[in-house]
Structure 1
């Protein structure tokens, strides 16, 4: 509750209910379980199988921005603008709990399945209602949520499939532009290459929208003002990697690591090479992918490099490499990879176009 007060600046009844709901269903305790999972395990007398399934099903929380489609008996149909899915949701106090909702309005809140074996959902905790006139603000907030947490799209396989298709098209265009899905460039050239790539995607989007050639010329404008972070611009080199799963990323001083794997003897002459690799291994923001790419580019040098880094003469990348990545990059193995491009459903796109 104190953390919620710090984050929100206040704790009224609604905020307190939300804090409790999140704590019970999502907060991991010291043993890795939620309060709900601990309750189910410790309940005396034990719950029936059906009751256990019902309660544990509540861990599948959908917290999002919903549009009220229509009422359906004592329930309401809610369109999740993030996942582009429609849920039939009820209140645990009946239709009275839905009295503040209106068709076409928006709801910001949480729902959980009544039971995993059904398609019925239930409002959980406190929710906020907004009028239909707030559509622009709600759409912007939903789009920001997708950008911050693209893994939320996993609920809708159609959106994930669409994102993978778009990513494949953009990656093919990147390769056509630069000749490979991995290029190592001076920072300023890397920044210009990124701007050209996004300009090409801007033109592609205009072409797909059906605009005339003249309109595309007028509306495309200059290359988007893409800027690399300041530390990237100060690097010796920047690698642009357009991975088929993770999408487009940029990596500081990748050229030095490429030199190291090509000539492992550099580790003896200049220890800063190993320090750079250690930074890559320990940085949670860097996935295992660029390290795997280094090994793929220079397979003969991998064992010598990691033996020097880890001071383990018997290290074998083929035998020990993935275990090393799993230990150092644990968080990246705990979640399913998501496409490096996010997509939105038609309704959210429609609301965004009116912004």
Structure 2
């Protein structure tokens, strides 16, 4: 998938690219000024703590992120404050250009083409193609060659163009690193599925795949929620993925099916539980319509609590419910599921937990979830399955062949 041709004429693009270098320098100086020194220093210290040191590339990326994306106490960004306070005020097109830089794309790109003004880069993460310029000119792009890979941050040059601009450090990798970078791309997509929003086609595919997997789960088990021991959960997931593979392979010819068996992930890989669940008493396996596959440790204890609120005398059960409620990694969906399974007992459980005799789930439940799990309400839902583009899938298959 590729963006449409830019509506802005090349001479105007060239002018904005040239001007962007001076303005980026002003912005970085503004971000490093005394007004933001304490907050920027804290960001640099955090980066150094993660790596054990702070190299130049990491420092550049940290400052760039701080200038363009970091939210200050009032909710604005440094670049927004720079544009508002700059004297003399910027012309409208330069103002629009800088404010557009808040829309950062961090990607792992395969180089498709390079000329003296720009590079055409295919992002393995969102499966989109970007024509990318540099405000440092040809010398910043000349180290790129077709077939190489680069990890880089890019921003829109201007809202009225389809041109993009390098911002921060440009890391390059030979073409032989494709398989390893594909693994890094999958890890990034898994951690940040919001990247799908840039590609509506991938987003649509993700929802379709999730609906199919859920339908197969219900077909096999008669429900979309199982409460099992870790060993049972592993066995059921293996059974499920075998069921899925058989359905998929049945639609392929013999040659394609043999290739899929050879190059696809094994049943052991697909059915492995996260390590932190293996010592749990029970595991809740939920194949949710919106959130896809979810696993929750000791879900059985909470289900028993909602089935019999008298168990609230067991402080361990209430403590676990409190942990579920306060843990931002636990979706509101899980609490709703417990209530849906035992609607007549929800009020008694939450009254015991919160020590609020007047609490009712019908009146107060959703407000409780919004207060305790605010981050889950800040964005539109995304499919729990993250599809990958054709090129990334090819690189992943090559990695599996090399591994085997």
**Same fold by TM-score, threshold 0.5 exceeded?**
yes
Cα distance in 1 for partners of 2:389, 2:370 equals 34
Task: Provide closer, same or farther for how the CA distance between residues 261 and 349 of structure 1 changes in structure 2, counting only shifts above 3 A.
Answer: same
- Confirm or deny: 8 A CA contact 1:288 1:325 kept in the other structure: yes
Cα distance in 2 for partners of 1:100, 1:193 equals 50
Match of 1:135 in 2: 178
Match of 2:315 in 1: 271
Cα distance in 2 for partners of 1:13, 1:2 equals 13
Shift of 1:290: 1.0
- Confirm or deny: 8 A CA contact 1:199 1:224 kept in the other structure: no
Pick which of 188-197 and 4-13 moved more. 4-13
Task: Give the 5 Å matches for 1:168-187.
Answer: 168-187=211-230
Shift of 1:240: 1.1
- Are 1:353 and 2:397 counterparts? yes
- Confirm or deny: 8 A CA contact 2:114 2:144 kept in the other structure: no
| Matched residue SS, 1:126 | strand
More helix by share: 2
Match of 1:262 in 2: 307
Task: Give the 5 Å matches for 1:90-105.
Answer: 90-105=133-148
Shift of 1:110: 0.9
| Matched residue SS, 2:379 | coil
- Are 1:232 and 2:260 counterparts? no
Structure 1, residues 292-344: CA drift from partner, whole Å, max 9, x if none? 11112222222222122112222222222111111111222223322111111
Cα distance in 2 for partners of 1:261, 1:278 equals 13
Cα distance in 2 for partners of 1:264, 1:313 equals 14
The match for 1:110 among 137, 146, 153 is 153
Cα distance in 1 for partners of 2:134, 2:219 equals 53
Match of 2:28 in 1: none
Match of 1:245 in 2: 290
Q: How many residues align?
A: 354
Match of 1:329 in 2: 373
Alignment TM-score, normalising by the size of structure 1? 0.89
Task: Provide closer, same or farther for how the CA distance between residues 316 and 118 of structure 1 changes in structure 2, counting only shifts above 3 A.
Answer: farther
The match for 1:40 among 83, 99, 102 is 83
Cα distance in 2 for partners of 1:73, 1:229 equals 48
Shift of 1:119: 1.3
Shift of 1:30: 3.6
Match of 1:298 in 2: 342
The match for 1:69 among 104, 109, 112 is 112
Pick which of 146-155 and 47-56 moved more. 47-56
> RMSD across aligned C-alpha pairs, in angstroms?
2.7
Match of 2:243 in 1: 200
Alignment TM-score, normalising by the size of structure 2? 0.79
- Confirm or deny: 8 A CA contact 2:249 2:257 kept in the other structure: no
- Confirm or deny: 8 A CA contact 1:198 1:224 kept in the other structure: no
Structure 1, residues 52-107: CA drift from partner, whole Å, max 9, x if none? 33212101111111111123662222111110001111111333432222222222
Match of 1:281 in 2: 325
| Matched residue SS, 2:169 | coil
Pick which of 182-191 and 343-352 moved more. 182-191
Cα distance in 1 for partners of 2:110, 2:279 equals 46
Shift of 1:193: 0.8
Cα distance in 2 for partners of 1:126, 1:316 equals 53
Pick which of 139-148 and 117-126 moved more. 139-148
Shift of 1:221: 10
5+ residue gaps in structure 1? none
Task: Provide closer, same or farther for how the CA distance between residues 286 and 52 of structure 1 changes in structure 2, counting only shifts above 3 A.
Answer: same
- Confirm or deny: 8 A CA contact 2:242 2:267 kept in the other structure: yes
5+ residue gaps in structure 2? 1-43, 400-404
- Are 1:89 and 2:132 counterparts? yes
Match of 2:163 in 1: 120
- Confirm or deny: 8 A CA contact 1:199 1:222 kept in the other structure: no
| Matched residue SS, 1:336 | coil
Task: Provide closer, same or farther for how the CA distance between residues 231 and 67 of structure 1 changes in structure 2, counting only shifts above 3 A.
Answer: closer
Match of 2:198 in 1: 155
Cα distance in 1 for partners of 2:215, 2:259 equals 21
Task: Provide closer, same or farther for how the CA distance between residues 8 and 189 of structure 1 changes in structure 2, counting only shifts above 3 A.
Answer: closer
Shift of 1:241: 0.7
Cα distance in 2 for partners of 1:21, 1:201 equals 44
